[in-house]
Amino acid sequence: MALRSLVARMTLISTFMATTGLGLGQLRGFQTFSLPDLPYDYAALEPVISAEIMRLHHQKHHQTYITNYNKALEQLHDAMEKGDSATVVKLHSAIKFNGGGHINHSIFWKNLAPTREGGGEPPHGSLARAIDTDFGSLEKLTQTMNAKGAAVQGSGWVWLAVDKKFKKLVVETTANQDPLVTKGPTLVPLLGIDVWEHAYYLQYKNARSDYLTNIWKVMNWNYASEVYAKEFSSA
């Protein structure tokens, strides 16, 4: 009976990790998360993204995901300790949504940079060569991402990722706050653009396409190039 219970618990843990991106360390012991600082001032991305949007997006929206993620993780930890599989299953969507919100936004802040700090400067080195190989040019890549981002129904994200299995760049979209790992375990995000209305509506109203066009002016390709180089140096 004890063995059967252990097997059931480990199966539940494996399923949870695969579908939420939650690390094993977080399941072994309750761990809380806090809001990361931005690497620039709220007004640093103007006029592309206003200080008001950045402040609300960071302090309110991202903080809410973290608050709810921590709450759900605490409940998950308690349920695991009690062997309460029904509660564990019920917590799946909350952890996926709020944990994904924290993961995605933590990447998003790093994907942006003020123009005085290199924001908008084109990629270089191995990433630039990979973009030319897989998309034809940087312009064609941005057109692809803008089109897919504009086509997201409701809320979600558009990503530039590297598929480590096939050693190829890909563009993917995810719904709501689903992290990119839900599209495939070998996908590593290089750039993610938030197409939730809270990311642009105060400034761009319903013109999501204008937001997508302008955000490239503050895109931090240095960060994407570093992640790309690191992934293949460790491959």
User: Is 41 assigned to a binding site?
Assistant: no
Confidence band, pLDDT 50/70/90 cuts, at residue 80:
confident
Q: Where are the alpha helices (DSSP H) in the chain?
A: 2-20, 24-28, 51-55, 63-82, 85-90, 92-110, 125-135, 138-151, 201-204, 208-215, 221-233
Rounded to whole angstroms, the Cα distance separating 166 from 80 reads 36
Confidence of residue 2 (pLDDT cuts 50, 70, 90): very low
Query: What integer pLDDT is reported at residue 81 of this predicted model?
Result: 87
pLDDT of 222 > 90? The answer is yes
- For 12-59, the pLDDT digits (tens) are 444 455 555 555 444 555 678 999 999 999 999 999 999 999 999 999
- Over residues 71-98, the mean pLDDT reads 92
Q: Which residue has the higher pLDDT, 10 or 119?
A: 119
pLDDT tens for 152-193 read: 999 999 999 999 999 999 999 999 999 999 999 999 999 999
CB 144 within 8 A of CB 173: no
* pLDDT tens, residue by residue, 191-218: 999 999 999 999 999 999 999 999 999 9
CA distances from 26 to 65, 77, 83, 97, 213 (A): 17, 9, 16, 16, 38
Smallest CA-to-CA distance from 196 within 170, 224, 158 is with 158
| Phi, psi dihedral angles at 185 (to 5 degrees) | -70, -15
Question: Which is the CATH superfamily of the domain at 48-234?
Answer: Iron/manganese superoxide dismutase, C-terminal domain (3.55.40.20)
Whole-number pLDDT of residue 22: 53
What is the 3 state secondary structure string of 16-44?
HHHHHCCCHHHHHCCCCCCCCCCCCCCCC
Q: Beta-carbon neighbour count of residue 95 at 10 Å?
A: 23
Tell me whether residue 57 is annotated as binding: yes
Q: What is the pLDDT of residue 30?
A: 63
Confidence at residue 234, expressed as pLDDT on a 0 to 100 scale: 52
Per cent of the chain over pLDDT 90 is 81
| Residue 7, both tokens | 């097997």
Asked whether the beta carbons of 232 and 126 are under 8 A apart, the reply is yes
> Do the annotations mark residue 105 as ligand-binding?
yes
Residue 110, pLDDT > 80, answer yes
108 has a pLDDT exceeding 80: yes
Give the number of other CB atoms < 10 A from CB of residue 133.
10
78 is in an annotated binding site: no
pLDDT computed for residue 46 by the predictor: 98
Q: pLDDT band at residue 139, thresholds of 50, 70 and 90? A: very high
